[in-house]
């Protein structure tokens, strides 16, 4: 209970209330700013982001294919370590795919599609 009394006492200080009001106004002002690329940069930005997305998708597919190949080679030549590493690789490629979709959704949520 003494902590709540101290907090209540602090909120009754006029200078503190004024400072909190200014900080709140500044946060609302910053939240209203819409992120936008500089003029003429949007096409280049879209192109680079597209290349990055295709590169990540290619890495995920390559990881899955190499991992499945390692499982097959491990089974054919009786190499249990190769098979287990291949299984781990398949799990990693699935996790990479999930993270890829999640990160894209987070970035779109932060940046948005416009103001």
Query: Which tokens is 38 given?
Result: 């500089």
What is the largest distance, in Å, between two alpha-carbon atoms of the chain? 79
pLDDT for residue 68 = 97
Neighbouring residues of 67: CB distance < 8 A, sequence distance ≥ 6: 85, 86, 87, 88, 89, 90, 92, 93
pTM score, two decimals? 0.64
pLDDT for residue 114 = 58
Say if residue 19's pLDDT is above 90.
no
pLDDT for residue 38 = 82
Of 17 and 90, the structure prediction assigns the larger pLDDT to 90
pLDDT in tens, 47-106: 998 999 999 999 999 999 999 999 999 999 999 999 999 999 999 999 999 999 999 888
């Amino acid at each position: 209970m003494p902590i709540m009394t101290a907090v209540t006492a602090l909120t009754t200080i006029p200078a503190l209330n004024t400072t909190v009001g200014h900080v709140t106004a500044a946060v609302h002002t910053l939240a209203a700013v819409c992120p936008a690329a500089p003029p003429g940069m949007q096409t280049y930005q879209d192109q680079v982001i597209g290349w990055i997305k295709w590169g990540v998708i290619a890495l995920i597919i390559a990881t899955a294919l190499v991992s499945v190949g390692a499982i097959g080679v491990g089974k054919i030549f009786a190499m249990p370590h190769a098979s287990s590493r291949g299984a781990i690789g398949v799990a990693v490629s699935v996790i990479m795919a999930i993270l890829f979709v999640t990160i894209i959704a987070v970035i779109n949520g932060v940046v948005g599609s416009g103001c």
